[in-house]
Amino acid sequence: MRIAVFPGSFDPFTIGHKDIADRALRMFDILIIGIGYNINKPGISGILEDRVKAIEKVFEGNDRIKVEAYSGLTVDFAKRHGAEFIVRGLREVKDFEYERNLADTNAAISDIETVFLTARPDLGFISSSMVRELKANGYDTSRFLPN
């Protein structure tokens, strides 16, 4: 069984995230979407629950996908689930610099391998922060979000 974790904030979960998850499912038997949160941020539990439910709904009927919120280190979350891989998406060089650092750190403290998927060219400009910004200014963001 190849089990991978796809960690992120997913605030919100976009069609860019969905594409990475769908492609990761071609390589792994089980994909656990982990919504990372900071335990020091109060009042987030209700929001997290909604986010878990919303992402679960996107993959309804697919029993190879699990969605769970977690705090703490991603490698510890992965180990708890018996996952040997972390999946991350790369949109641009800036992502790469940050992600390589994370991957190297995780490799230094565990046996977990990080696997990178480059963003689909037509989805690479989509980010959660861009969606939040548009939404806050009254724009319809539905075309950036999974059904």
Q: Which of 34, 6, 1 is nearest to 20 (CA)?
A: 6
Q: Is the separation of the CB atoms in 4 and 29 below 8 Å?
A: no
Quote the least distance from Cβ 102 to ligand ADP, whole Å.
9
> From residue 85, how far is each of 11, 52, 94, 100, 143 by CA, in Å?
22, 21, 22, 15, 30
Q: CA 91, CA 113: separation in Å to the nearest integer?
A: 19
* Position with the least CB separation from ligand ADP: 16
Of 6-45, binders to ligand ADP (CB under 6 A) are 8-10, 14, 16-17, 20
Q: Exposed (0-12), middle (13-18) or buried (19+): which is 50, by Cβ within 10 Å? A: exposed
Per annotation, catalytic residue among 71, 110, 127, 128: 128
Quote the least distance from Cβ 61 to ligand ADP, whole Å.
23
Per annotation, catalytic residue among 91, 120, 127, 135: 91
Quote the least distance from Cβ 117 to ligand ADP, whole Å.
7
Respond yes or no: is residue 66 known to be catalytic. Answer: no
Respond yes or no: is residue 143 known to be catalytic. Answer: no
Respond yes or no: is residue 81 known to be catalytic. Answer: no
Which one among 89, 106, 112, 114 touches ligand ADP, defined by CB under 6 A?
89
Respond yes or no: is residue 128 known to be catalytic. Answer: yes
127 lies in the site for ligand ADP, by CB under 6 A: yes
Quote the least distance from Cβ 60 to ligand ADP, whole Å.
20
Which residue ranges make up the site for ligand ADP (CB under 6 A)?
A: 8-10, 14, 16-17, 20, 88-89, 91, 95, 119, 123-124, 126-128
The residues that are catalytic are: 17, 41, 91, 128
